[in-house]
Amino acid sequence: MNIKITGTGSYIPTVVKKNDHFYGNEFLNADGSKINRKNDVIVSKFKAITGIEERRYAKSDLNTSDLAFLASQKAIDNAKINQEDIDYIIVAHNYGDINSNSIQSDMVPSLAARVKHLLKIKNPKCIAYDILFGCPGWVEATIQANAFIKAGLAKKCLVVGAETLSRITDPHDRDSMIYSDGAGAVILEESNDDAGIIHHETASFTLDESHFIYFGETYNKDIQEDSRYIKMHGRKIYEFALTNVPLAMQSCLDKSGYDIKDVKKILIHQANEKMDEAIVNRFYKLYDLDMPKDIMPMTIGKLGNSSVATVPTLYDQILKNQLEGQEIKKGDIIIFASVGAGMNINAIVYKQ
């Protein structure tokens, strides 16, 4: 039995923030000291490393669960199913609903319950729950949905990745320029052909790595507030990802029974352009091959890093011919892969 994606949807927020939006920020070092560079230089260096030119923010009247609902409705329509037949709704996120005028997270009820409510699903046997797994959350939720269907506990699952990271960023931290908002969703069902999830791998590194991404205070020591913002040890994450993600992808592919030359696309979490390129390059080096051209589609340049939303959004855009020069055809072997807070890593080998 194979489980495949039968419908996709995404919601790309309409508020565009270009890099010059940050020219007026007062960027500081972690110890609160001033950075001895002009902001245009800081932003230029940031763009060279991350590849980000602009990012999307949600309108003030939309929360994470709203974005998740909008993407979900598109996926349901695309799959042409009755939403009352959905057995599980799994929503991956990390920070819950955060009102635009507050940084207090709201996770009760769960975002999945809110999505089910907004979809107006009446069926009480449609189970709605959230998963917090860092940026790999959507990939892991897909793996869980696959397990439910294979176990005979479900026939149709809605899996969503949604986030509004723009509302938990420290304006004094250069890393705040990375983050963005968005949502992506898919419907998974049993497949009557050989398409679908072929193999998957997951690993959690928590002994020394669990706090590489964390909640921390603002870098501005003059601000006296009991608030926390998303923070990360960028260099440690880069080194960790470069070492471990290619190995996880290799293990997943080798166990799938497919050859590296069968892979047509790698849809990797849009975290940082240079880091993603280095990961995929090193993955191919494990097979003594050069990274093929156009194997790794990228959206981070225009959409930024929306955490759990990056992979499903990327997949939806390619399938709907919204990403120039990129396509996925029936029968193609693709790899979904992600790395993030935890530190967690996962990968799926998937046949379109």
Span 101-158, pLDDT tens digits? 877 889 999 999 999 999 999 999 999 999 999 999 999 999 999 999 999 999 999 9
CA proximity to 273, closest of 108, 91, 43, 53 = 53
Residue 168: domain span: 2-194
- The confidence band for 226, taking pLDDT boundaries of 50, 70 and 90, is confident
pLDDT at 237: 95
Q: Looking at residue 225, what is its pLDDT? A: 79
Q: Do residue 89 and residue 131 come from a single domain? A: yes
The 10s digit of each residue's pLDDT in 275-324 is: 999 999 999 999 999 999 999 999 999 999 999 999 999 999 999 999 98
Same domain? For 171 and 212 the reply is no
- Looking at the structure, do residues 132 and 206 belong to the same domain, yes or no? no
Q: In this predicted structure, what is the pLDDT of residue 222? A: 85
Task: Say yes or no: 190 and 202 in one domain.
Answer: no
Classify 138 as helix, strand or coil. helix
Share of the chain above pLDDT 70, in %: 100
Do 161 and 23 share a structural domain? yes
Distance set, CA 62 to CA 14, 68, 75, 176 (Å): 11, 10, 19, 20
Cβ 4 vs Cβ 197: under 8 Å:
yes
Domain C-terminal end among 136, 168, 194: 194
Q: Which of 142, 171, 194 is the last residue of a domain?
A: 194
| CA distance to 87, 105, 156, per residue, from 145 (Å) | 10, 26, 8
Same domain, 175 and 213: no
CATH (domain of 291): 3.40.47.10
Decide: 313 and 183 in contact? Cβ < 8 Å: yes
Strand blocks (E) in the chain: 2-11, 15-18, 54-57, 88-92, 127-131, 156-164, 181-191, 196-204, 213-216, 229-232, 263-268, 333-340, 344-351
CB 16 within 8 A of CB 180: no
Query: Which candidate, 219, 226, 179, 216, places its Cα nearest to that of 26?
Result: 219
pLDDT of residue 81: 97
What per-residue confidence (pLDDT) applies to 294?
A: 92
Residues 95 and 222 in one domain: no
pLDDT at 328: 97
**Among the three residues 144, 165, 194, which one is the final residue of a domain in this structure?**
194
224 pLDDT more than 90: no
Whole-prediction pTM: 0.94
Instruction: State the total domains in the chain.
Output: 2
Confidence of residue 175 (pLDDT cuts 50, 70, 90): very high
Q: Does one domain contain both 143 and 245? A: no
Both 14 and 147 in one domain: the answer is yes
Number of Cβ within 10 Å of residue 331's Cβ equals 11
Based on the fold, state whether residues 224 and 100 are members of the same structural domain.
Answer: no
Query: What is the per-residue pLDDT for 211?
Result: 95
For residue 138, what pLDDT is reported? 98
Best CA proximity match to 85, nearest among 34, 128, 121: 121
- Same domain (yes/no): 185, 203: no
Average pLDDT, the chain: 95
Q: Mark whether 21 and 139 lie in a shared domain.
A: yes
